[in-house]
Structure 1
Amino acid sequence: MRFRVPLPSIPVAIALLPFAASALAETKDAPRLPTANFVAVEDKPSETYVIGPLDTLTIFVWRNPELGGKVQVRPDGRITTPLIEDMQAVGKTPKQLSDDLAEALSKYITTPRVSVIVENFSGTFSQQIRIVGATDKPAAIPYRANMTLLDAMIAVGGLSEYAAGNRARLIRYDRASGKQIEFRLKITSLLRKGDIKANVGLEPGDVIIIPESLF
């Protein structure tokens, strides 16, 4: 006695083929970024770093250490230090905040000299890298000077089991044109085959989208 086994998955698979081809074509048409250069690791924000909410700052006032200390930027973007009840910190560089603190302290001490060091930093939204889609820990991570794709993928734990890493896309806002530009990435080649050419440099505000494999 023979039984005929239905194969409902075949029509479904055939129906999905045009969508898969379209997705591959879109990724293929997107330009590629240049390979990142190897540079010395920097564990501190660059000079253009803009302070964000929840950043931890160390404030040093020369000859008046009691007026400084370690503070965390509040969710409302302000900080409080001895003699200064509320000071806007978010949106400023460490140098700008140093100058503003010095000006405020000049009411109490003569020619204050203030230094601001960012110890733990989260950055503003425009200075974060967002990784979404098929990764172990989708997240928004703070941008650091000379950050690469490999750095970002290590931070989120790599690709998930069904990730289509070589169809990933990077969305970047181009300030010159005011438009978003899309680049294709080869994350699978980078992480699983060690293709260093696939390791590209990142910029603040980049969004990395990793799709899942269709089959």
Structure 2
Amino acid sequence: MSYLIGPGDVLSISVWKEEGMQQEVLVRPDGEITFPLAGEIKAGGLTTKALSDELVKKLRKYIPHPSVTVSVLRSVSNKIYVIGKVNRPGEYTATGYMDVLQALTMAGGLTPYAESDEIKIIRRTETGTKMKLFDYDEVVSGERLDMNIILQAGDTVVVP
């Protein structure tokens, strides 16, 4: 799975053989970046390859056959949190597409006293806070795989 760029990430963007076209760029809270000649570009939610392709499209108007390299210098956007009755509660970096089971595994699994059928995923959105239920036993048995959602940056998994 490829890393998805998000707000707060710092990117290195360079255009081969173009002086002055190498910059470190901060991804703004709205997911946008600004780059010379390309202007405003939505970077949030894209891979480095997809962002590079977008920049090539925009720069073609000004530079013949541009070759663009994008890399992530610092990642801060893909943090998720696992709290409660897990062996290693804390903040984790979600690489690529991380689901709830993977996050619980990173947190060392459930403690013996965890209420495995009452796990909650809390997600903040532009319209408010949403909560989804996760029943560990039903997911592991294969009965409710639909509950094993992909986590997004900022999600909190609460294990009571």
Fold-level similarity (TM above 0.5): yes
CA RMSD of the aligned region, Å?
3.4
Distance apart, 1:68 and its partner CA: 2.4
CA distance in 2, matches of 1:53, 1:99: 19
1:133-144 aligned within 5 A: 133=84, 141-144=92-95
Aligned to 1:64: 18
CA separation of 1:112 and 1:128: change in aligned 2, threshold 3 A: same
More helix as a share of residues: 1
Q: Which one has the bigger strand percentage?
A: 2
Residue number in structure 2 paired with 1:32: none
Q: CA deviation at 1:56?
A: 1.2
Counterpart secondary structure, 2:80: strand
- Percent of aligned pairs with the same amino acid: 34
Counterpart in the other structure of 2:127: none
Residue pair 1:52, 1:73 contacting (<8 A) in 2 also: yes
Aligned to 2:37: 83
Is 2:98 aligned against 1:165? no
Distance in 2, matches of 1:86 and 1:140, equals: 31
Alignment of 1:44-193 (within 5 A): 46-47=1-2, 49-123=3-77, 128-133=79-84, 141-144=92-95, 149=104, 151-152=106-107, 165-168=111-114, 169=116, 181-183=134-136
Range moving further from structure 2, 59-68 or 71-80: 59-68
8 Å CA contact 1:171, 1:183 repeated in 2: no
- Listed as ranges, the matches of 1:16-35 within 5 Å are none
8 A contact 2:90–2:107 mirrored in 1: no
2:42 and 2:49 map into 1 onto residues whose CA distance is 13
> Partner amino acid for 1:129?
I
Work out which of the two has the higher radius of gyration on C-alpha atoms and give 1 or 2. Answer: 1
Runs (5+) with no aligned partner, structure 1: 1-45, 154-163, 173-178, 185-201
Q: Following the alignment from structure 2 to structure 1, what is the Cα–Cα distance between the partners of residues 32 and 91?
A: 22
Give TM-score scaled by structure 1 length: 0.47
User: What SS does the corresponding residue of 1:66 show, helix, strand or coil?
Assistant: coil
Q: Give a deviation string over 1:85-106, Cα, whole Å, max 9, x none.
A: 2111112121111000011111
Structure 2 unaligned spans of 5+: 122-131, 138-147
CA distance in 2: counterparts of 1:77 and 1:122, whole angstroms: 13
Offset at residue 82 of structure 1 (A): 2.0
CA-to-aligned-CA distance 1:46-105 (integer Å, 9 cap, x gap): 42x221111111112111252122111001111012223211111212111100001111
